[in-house]
Amino acid sequence: MTKKKTREKKKSQGSKRWEIYEISGDRIRKKNKTCPKCGDGIFMARHHDRDTCGKCSYTEFRKK
């Protein structure tokens, strides 16, 4: 086993974008949905019952 454990806590410089990523194992999952209108990279804000894109105001209601 030559698994390197490099879990340094690096403070991302100015990019809060990483907060929406969740690293589980060696996979990176996106926590938030991406806007289908704006495309990849534009994430939607989560609300209790809907997701809203801050860029184009696209709103997608979530089913319970």
Under rule CB under 5 A, residue 33 binds Zn ion:
no
Residue 29 or residue 55: which is nearer to Zn ion going by CB? 55
Among 17, 47, 50, 55, binds Zn ion (CB under 5 A): 55
Under rule CB under 5 A, residue 51 binds Zn ion:
no
Half-sphere exposure (Cβ direction) of 25: Cα atoms closer than 13 Å = 2
Question: What is the helix, strand, coil percentage profile of the chain, to 5?
Answer: 10, 30, 60
Summarize as ranges the residues that interact with Zn ion (CB under 5 A): 35, 37-38, 53, 55-56, 58
